[in-house]
């Protein structure tokens, strides 16, 4: 009996030592990950500073706390805003070892150099990132497979006057990523939802804004399929604030410089389109009497020209236009023309309300509405790919 007790005691000691070693290693990796992410951001032109990193003390979870985090994105023209986050908690629980939970402080500061500043208050805020175990073990530079962000009761106040500029009841964002996706698989998905947005009553009054300066709901669902290997470069070129150059150099590109962004993104997007890239899109907007939804899909034909369709349903369409014309009399002429153009697509909705129902189509260079030709769309001119550098493989297509 004593031998059994000694064996069990020794086993418990060994397990405890191993557990503490894994816990210490996990917290070390979390602290290292903070600096690795900061290095990546700096390589893309961001300015990143932070205070101390404090390790957690509970062996039941791996945790680090980053203090005094300040982020300034690269901006080509004008002053860059600096986001100040007093504290950011990163935690991994034993039951979900490949899910990183992030909990920022509930109050942030947003400031322009020598300019105005604002305070962001959150009632609740949390984010999570999920990683692929195999990608982590293989040292992938992007092992992320899914992420989420949720916040409620956001209020943006002018820091100097404590005057509320904007409030949002809830924000939710979820994403997925599959770098091994083929033509028939989803490579990237995005779901965003915002509800209860309201501008300050003062802004609403001064600007005579319709609908009380409030937006009930705005949501977006995007799913992109096709060879995932083609996507990152194209999407980064289209949406990133900087474009990476040789040897990690970056050059800022103004968001308004569409042609420069297009030249950077087009080669990768062209290859993606040639290899069967396609996707689906869903949008919903609820503001005042208007409740509109749109669902559709997009892709490319055999000539690598865009094609797609979008079905749009909007209840309260006429009432919404009437409200806008009341607030902005100068738009009455344009609104009347829009109403006349939409009249063939108006049907009776619930409770004898007026509903706009139309299916837009794009194919063979023609834009149609419920099968009726609206206009001819000029062909998309894909720019020629840049000449390959010495020793680089020649891109396909």
Band of pLDDT at residue 233, cut at 50, 70 and 90:
very low
Q: How many CB atoms lie within 10 A of CB 161?
A: 9
pLDDT of residue 159: 81
Least confident of 97-111, 277-291, 346-360: 346-360
pTM of the model: 0.82
Q: Measure the CA–CA gap between 185 and 176, rounded to whole angstroms.
A: 12
pLDDT of residue 397: 41
* Rounded to 5°, angle at Cα 242 from 241 and 247: 160
Q: Which of 213, 265, 225 is nearest to 382 (CA)?
A: 265
pLDDT digits (tens, 9 = 90+) for 42-88: 988 899 999 999 998 888 888 999 999 999 988 877 788 899 999 99
Band of pLDDT at residue 257, cut at 50, 70 and 90:
low
The mean predicted confidence, pLDDT, of the chain is 84
For tokens 């000694």, the residue is 6
Half-sphere exposure of 93 (CA within 13 A, CB side): 7
Burial (Cβ within 10 Å: 0-12, 13-18, ≥19) of residue 381: exposed
- Name beta bridge partners: 35: none
State the chain's maximal CA–CA distance in angstroms. 96
Phi, psi of 252, rounded to the nearest 5 degrees = -70, 140
pLDDT of residue 252: 43
Half-sphere exposure of 314 (CA within 13 A, CB side): 24
Reduced to 3 states, what is the DSSP secondary structure of residue 366?
A: strand
Q: How distant, in Å, are the alpha carbons of 93, 98, 126, 142, 178 from that of 146?
A: 17, 11, 14, 11, 9
């Amino acid at each position: 009996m004593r031998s059994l007790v000694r064996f069990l005691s020794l086993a418990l000691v060994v397990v405890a030592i191993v557990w503490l070693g894994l816990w210490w290693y996990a917290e070390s990796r979390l602290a290292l990950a903070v600096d690795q992410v900061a290095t990546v951001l700096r390589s893309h032109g961001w300015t990143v500073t932070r205070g101390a990193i404090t390790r957690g003390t509970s062996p039941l979870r791996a945790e680090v706390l980053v203090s005094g985090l300040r982020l300034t994105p690269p901006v080509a023209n004008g002053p860059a805003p600096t986001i100040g986050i007093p504290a950011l908690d990163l935690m991994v629980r034993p039951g979900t070892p490949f899910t990183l939970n992030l909990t920022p402080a509930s109050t942030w500061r947003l400031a322009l150099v020598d300019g105005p500043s604002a305070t962001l208050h959150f009632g609740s805020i949390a984010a999570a990132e999920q990683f692929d175990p195999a990608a982590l073990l293989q040292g992938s530079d992007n092992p992320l497979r899914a992420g989420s962000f949720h916040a409620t009761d956001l209020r943006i106040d002018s820091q100097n006057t404590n005057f509320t500029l904007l409030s949002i009841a809830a924000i939710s964002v979820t994403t997925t990523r599959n770098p091994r996706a083929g033509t028939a698989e989803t490579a990237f998905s995005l779901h965003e939802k915002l509800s209860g947005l309201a501008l300050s009553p003062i802004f609403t009054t001064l600007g005579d804004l319709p609908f009380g300066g409030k937006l009930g709901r705005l949501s977006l669902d995007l799913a992109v399929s096709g060879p995932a290997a083609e996507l990152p470069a194209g999407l980064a070129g289209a949406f990133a604030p900087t474009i990476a150059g040789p040897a990690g150099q970056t050059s800022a590109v103004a968001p308004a410089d569409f042609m420069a962004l297009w030249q950077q993104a087009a080669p990768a997007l062209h290859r993606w389109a040639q290899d069967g890239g396609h996707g689906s899109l869903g949008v919903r907007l609820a503001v005042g009497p208007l409740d509109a939804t749109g669902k559709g899909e997009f892709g490319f034909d055999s000539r690598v020209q865009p094609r797609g369709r979008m079905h749009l349903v909007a209840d309260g369409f006429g009432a919404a236009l009437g409200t806008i014309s009341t607030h902005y009399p100068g738009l009455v002429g344009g609104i009347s023309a829009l109403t006349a153009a939409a009249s063939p697509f108006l049907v009776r909705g619930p409770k004898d309300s007026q509903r706009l129902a139309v299916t837009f189509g794009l194919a063979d260079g023609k834009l149609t509405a419920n099968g009726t030709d609206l206009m001819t769309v000029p062909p998309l001119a894909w720019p020629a790919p840049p000449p390959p550098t010495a020793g680089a493989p020649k891109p396909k297509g």
